[in-house]
């Protein structure tokens, strides 16, 4: 029977499928699914159909505009409704996004099926999907699979698959699916949306990421990270230690409990390289580390290591770049 | 208001972890500590209980053995009591199995609000709290930066990709809290002494009314079947900064044509 039908929980931003969504579609195709179908929501689904058709998906399920409701409960209920009425996929892929995890978790409990999370690879082996996971800072890879009947739910980390470089347009079948009555579970409503202005590329899409850690000493010194990132047209990131300390928001965090990044160059400044952090950046094409402790684990995975004080190296580097 | 906080006792993350070669479960040897991620939820729960004019903070936790050392840390911070579900049958539980256990334990507390970390430090599936919410029939708000109580509902600032959303949610509800949003208090000496005599109610799987097939490795429906060493990265050039270290970085970036 092969891998069968694979659904993707897709998300739109400014009317277009997000990078994560495109990655998941590529992933579903790479599994050799008999059909790849995407579940979408929001007021802009119809406008995105052309691009989705261009990715080669065979169907789009439109849950419609959810208004101000948080999406976890309604999308999970809409998918569960399809499964109960006999229109069941064999597997569903979710991005490890704020909403993707909510939908996967709700759906898992609703249909009493487990969910395999933090996948950094999915491959078809016969009729089974094998998921890979990074353990202990990425020093080991565990492989897991479901032992029971599907639908199998997988939450996949960003950058596991590559989104296509360019997108064409093609028509695709679209079907509306409805949200059943949610009772109390659907009662969480957004009353205000705050957009924090951030210049430069997004953390998980930037070609260069400059991250700071506890070695910066104090929160004011994070400004050096932001300045360097800006000079390199990159994105600033952070280790968990300084997010926990409240220096920068959670959205900056690179690591196991944060974002996975795979930039062309990752510059780790004052980061020792705890397993928690390494798991999120080890896949970078090139790694530069600046740290005063020559025994720091970060130096075991870097392509260029500067054993030195970030408070000296970073200002000199910033000056040199400014003077070019 | 009464708040239940889901907490996890984990092996010290500073010590290297390992998997049991046969069962592929995490080895949970040695003393377990309170997951750092959970200290934020405990702190917020204590603040909410205090500011709402009283109420209890109850810890809810699960562990295959009767370990309580991590719970005592949170009790010393000021939580009133704990419910610990402990049973050898829980070994190998997946996130949904864990959620079934926690949901049943939370029902016995009937809190106004359930708090949890966005994800644990060791297993980091990040799905358990929302699975708990679904099993309890409650709404949920994940990735909270701030929680305010407003009568029978809460207002939550929820982290988003673009910034944050203000979310209004009626109680009871499940909220997950991101790390770093409050400063968890250090247990005082008095708190540590008091924690030793605070009640820890121990339950097992049968006592919760769950069947063996819903929890542990039998209930998991998924298995880790192989663990391999990841491909090693080759270590590149390591230089001591002599004042010219920055120039190495510049030429590295030049070679990649990034500057």
Q: Are residues A114 and A149 in the same domain?
A: yes
A113 contacts in chain B (CB < 8 Å): 96, 221
Q: Which residue has the higher pLDDT, B181 or A78?
A: A78
Question: What's the mean pLDDT when you consider all of chain B?
Answer: 92
Q: Select from A188, A209, A253, A301 the residue whose CB has the most chain B CBs within 10 Å, as the one to mutate to test that interface.
A: A188
Total count of domains within chain A: 2
Q: Which of A108, A142, A287 lies nearest to residue B127, judging by beta carbons?
A: A108
Cα three-residue angle A52-A57-A59, rounded to 5 degrees: 90
Range of the domain at A89: 5-186
Residue B119's pLDDT band, with cuts at 50, 70 and 90, is: confident
Task: Determine whether the interchain pair A308/B245 forms a contact, defined as Cβ–Cβ distance below 8 Å.
Answer: yes
When CB atoms are compared, the residue of B159, B181, B227 closest to A142 is: B227
Q: What CATH number should be reported for the domain holding residue A169?
A: 3.40.50.620
Is residue A195 included in any domain, yes or no?
no
**Which residues on chain B are in Cβ contact (under 8 Å) with A73?**
134, 139-140
Higher pLDDT pick, A240 / B23: A240
User: Tell me: the pLDDT tens digits for A134-150?
Assistant: 887 778 899 999 999 99
Note whether A302 contacts B134, CB cutoff 8 Å.
Answer: no
Decide if A109 and B226 are in contact by the 8 Å CB cutoff. Answer: no
Flag whether pLDDT at B52 surpasses 90: no
Task: Using the 3D structure, point to which of A119, A151, A186 is the last residue of a domain.
Answer: A186
Q: What's A220's domain CATH number?
A: 3.40.50.1220
In a domain, A306, yes or no: yes
Q: Which of A105, A133, A196 sits opposite B127 (nearest CB)?
A: A105
The CA distances from residue B86 to B60, B64, B67, B102, in Å, are 11, 5, 8, 11
Closest CB to A115 among B95, B132, B167: B95
Is the domain of A154 the same as that of A282?
no
Do A16 and A131 reside in the same domain of the chain?
yes
pLDDT tens-digit series, residues B85-107: 999 999 889 999 999 999 999 99
CATH code for the part of the protein at B3-220: 3.40.50.620
* Nearest CA-CA distance, residue B40 and chain A, Å: 9
Whether A25 and A103 share a structural domain: yes
- Residue A1 pLDDT: 67
Q: What percent of chain B has pLDDT above 90?
A: 71
| B16 has pLDDT over 70 | no
Interface predicted TM-score (ipTM): 0.92
Summarize pLDDT for A238-266 with one digit per residue, the tens.
999 999 888 998 889 999 888 999 999 99
The reply to whether A25 and A114 lie within a common domain is yes
Do A139 and A72 share a structural domain?
Answer: yes
Q: Which residue of A has its CA nearest to B180?
A: A244
Mean confidence (pLDDT) of chain A: 94
> What confidence tens digit (pLDDT) does each residue in A263-292 have?
999 999 999 999 889 989 998 999 999 999
* pLDDT for the residue B54: 82
How many CB contacts within 8 angstroms connect chain A with chain B?
Answer: 284
Stronger pLDDT, A211 or B51, i.e. the higher one: A211
């Amino acid at each position: 029977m092969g891998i069968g039908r694979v659904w993707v929980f897709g998300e739109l931003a400014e009317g277009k499928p997000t990078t994560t969504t495109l990655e998941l579609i590529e992933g579903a195709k790479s599994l050799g699914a008999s059909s790849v179908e995407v579940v979408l929501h929001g007021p802009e689904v119809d406008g995105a159909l052309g691009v989705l058709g261009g990715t080669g998906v065979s169907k789009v399920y439109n849950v419609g505009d959810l208004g101000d409701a948080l999406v976890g409960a309604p999308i999970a209920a809409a998918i569960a409704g399809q499964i109960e009425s006999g229109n069941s996929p064999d597997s569903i892929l979710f991005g490890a996004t704020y909403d993707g995890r909510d939908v996967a978790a709700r759906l898992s409990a609703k249909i009493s099926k487990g969910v395999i999370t933090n996948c950094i690879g999915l491959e078809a082996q016969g009729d089974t999907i094998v998921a890979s996971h990074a353990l202990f800072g990425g020093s080991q890879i565990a492989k897991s699979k479901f032992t029971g009947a599907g639908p199998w739910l997988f939450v996949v980390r960003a950058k596991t698959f590559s989104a296509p470089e360019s997108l064409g347009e093609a028509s695709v079948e679209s079907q509306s699916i409805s949200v059943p009555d949610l009772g109390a579970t659907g009662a969480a409503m957004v009353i205000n949306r705050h957009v924090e202005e951030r210049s430069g590329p997004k953390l998980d899409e930037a070609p260069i990421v400059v991250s700071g850690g506890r070695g910066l000493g104090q929160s004011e010194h994070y400004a050096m990270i932001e300045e360097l990132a800006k000079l390199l047209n990159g994105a600033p990131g952070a280790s968990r230690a300084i997010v926990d300390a409240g220096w920068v928001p959670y959205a900056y965090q690179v690591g196991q409990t944060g974002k996975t990044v795979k930039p062309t160059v990752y510059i780790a400044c004052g980061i020792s390289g705890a397993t928690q952090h390494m798991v999120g950046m080890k896949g970078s094409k090139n790694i530069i580390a600046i740290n005063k402790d020559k025994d720091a684990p970060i130096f075991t995975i870097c392509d260029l290591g500067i054993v030195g004080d970030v408070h000296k190296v970073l200002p000199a580097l910033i000056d040199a770049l400014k003077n070019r | 208001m009464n708040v239940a906080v889901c907490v996890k006792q984990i092996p010290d993350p500073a010590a290297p972890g390992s998997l049991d070669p046969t069962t592929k479960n995490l080895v949970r040897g040695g003393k377990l500590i309170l997951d750092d991620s959970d200290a934020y939820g405990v702190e917020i729960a204590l603040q909410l209980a205090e500011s709402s004019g009283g109420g209890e903070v109850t810890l809810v936790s699960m562990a295959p053995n009767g370990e309580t050392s991590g719970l005592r840390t949170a009790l010393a911070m000021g939580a009133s009591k704990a419910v610990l579900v402990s049973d050898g049958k829980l070994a190998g539980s997946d996130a949904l199995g864990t959620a079934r256990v926690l949901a049943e334990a939370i029902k016995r507390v009937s809190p106004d609000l359930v708090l949890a970390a966005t994800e644990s430090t060791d297993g980091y599936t990040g799905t358990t709290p929302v699975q708990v919410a679904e099993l309890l029939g409650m709404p949920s708000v994940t990735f909270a930066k701030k929680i305010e109580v407003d009568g029978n509902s809460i207002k939550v600032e929820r982290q988003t990709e673009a910034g944050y959303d203000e979310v209004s949610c009626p109680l009871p509800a499940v909220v997950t809290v991101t790390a770093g949003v409050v400063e968890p208090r250090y247990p005082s000496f008095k708190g540590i002494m008091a924690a030793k005599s605070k009640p820890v109610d121990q339950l097992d799987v049968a006592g919760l009314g769950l069947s063996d097939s819903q929890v542990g490795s039998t209930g998991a429906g998924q298995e880790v079947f192989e663990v391999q060493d990841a491909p090693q990265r080759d270590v590149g050039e390591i230089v001591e900064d002599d004042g010219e270290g920055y120039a190495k970085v510049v030429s590295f970036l030049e070679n990649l044509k990034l500057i």
